[in-house]
Homo-oligomer: A and B are copies of this chain.
Amino acid sequence: MSTDLMPNRYRPGEVNLPARDAELIARRDAVLGLSYRLQYRRPVHFVRGEGMWLYDPDGRAYLDFYNNVPSLGHCHPEVNAAMAEQAARISANTRYLEPRLVDYAERLVDAFPEELNRVVFTCTGSESNDLALRIARLASGGEGVIVSSYAYHGTSAAAAAVSPNLGDAVKLSPFVRMVSLPGPAGIPESQAADFFEAQVRSAILDLNRRGIGVAALLIDSIFSSDGVWVDPPGFITGGVAAVRDAGGLIIADEVQPGFGRTGIHMWGFERHRIVPDLVTLGKPMGNGFPIGAVVGRKAPMERFGATARYSNTFAGNTVGIATADAVLTILQRDQIPQHALAMSEQLRAGLEGLAKKHRGVRAIRNAGLFFGIDIGPDEIAIPEKRAMALGVVNAMRDDGVLISTTGANEDTLKVRPPLVCQAEHVDLFLATFERAITNVAV
């Protein structure tokens, strides 16, 4: 793993900043401290957002190909109107009868395979994963959790303890086991399923030998923080079956792939043709409003509900529900997942064209509008690849397009535009990317 856990960030002294920004950063560091990191060599400051665009104080426009929270675009008028209208009428909690809460819960589970017909609301993706782990541990009787090598599942103590991506400074749970993915291990696609299953079986064996037992396989179906390893579809099915045989549950972390990001499908797990036991939701669910959920099968959800009192003050609040309701309505009405697929095909075709012309583009992977683009030719060393990827990200930022990096070596570009991007935005992204990859020295 990269020793720098967030390479694409501002480092004091690396560049000269305008006095206005330098002074603000000094104040920020003093009160917020070091856990608050700024993206880009030259941090950006936005005063206005609209659709695909963010604007800085000088009126300069930046094309957003990075933020996957405002999936419907920045400052969506219809979503904001739903939020404001509900906030002006009533902001009620779930201890009161509220038809809108029930209506939305029903509509949400209707967007899932029929086995997944229960929902509990949360406020963040971290809370969703934290709660799903509680439910899985109660339902399975086991404690062990299997995740991918560079997984990130959230920021609560329990979620961070199963997030190897956070690095050495954050202690892992003694009950977590990491499995290598076939892609980054260099396994050919024809052997990917067997490789993954063998890794999972080995983890199960170890957990059982130590009396820990298996609570869950917790995976984000596009393995985003591992570097976006999405293919071949279905490569996880043998591992999924092995976990079920061992009494564990399958938790699909849909905080990033969910709500249409992967194109056509509303949920990333559908691409792998599995039906998980629990699904965790977050980021784009409210297009920016803090809301998340755990959707699941009846048996584990009822087991938890019947024994443990779960009360979350803000979760399921009518203002969050009204906002999420507007988001789901727009996603379905405007067939956003299908649109995302069409845009992703245009983007993929464009990137493949560039890869033929530019040695700096090593590989392209995507599921819908979540792209990983490996930067740097095979023959250069990892730190050089990483430096090149960072160079591309910062050149594009200076050129008015926002993306970042991901993956075990942080030499993979992470590209995930709002799902409402249009053909002209894809073209602009491609043109800007080509300038950057041309100018950044190999």
Contacts and interface: CB of A to CB of B under 8 A. Distances in A.
A301 B31 CA distance: 10
A388 B38 CA distance: 56
Do most interface residues of chain A lie in helix, strand or loop, or is the interface mixed?
mixed
B89 A169 contact: no
Nearest to A17: B97
Interface in A90-138: 90-99, 101-102, 105-106, 109, 117-120, 123-127, 130-131, 133-134
A302 interface: yes
A84 interface: yes
A134 B87 CA distance: 33
A170 B90 CA distance: 32
Contacts of A289: 314, 319
A309 interface: yes
A97 B43 contact: yes
Contacts of A170: 308-309
A242 interface: no
A190 interface: no
A2 interface: no
Copies of the polypeptide in the assembly? 2
A392 B10 CA distance: 59
B290 A290 contact: yes
A313 interface: yes
A406 to B, nearest CB: 13
A391 interface: no
Contacts of A90: 46-49, 54, 74-75
Which of A169, A290, A302, A320 is packed against the most chain B CB atoms within 10 Å? A290
Given A123-B124, A288-B317, A97 B36 contact: no
Contacts of A45: 96-99
A35 interface: yes
A33 interface: yes
Interface string A255-271: 00000000000000000
A47 B38 CA distance: 42
Name, among A32, A38, A101, the residue most crowded by chain B CB atoms within 10 Å (CB to CB): A32
Given A31-B102, A156-B157, 13 more contacts: A24-B102, A25-B97, A31-B105, A31-B106, A31-B109, A35-B120, A35-B310, A48-B89, A67-B93, A70-B91, A80-B84, A87-B288, A166-B309
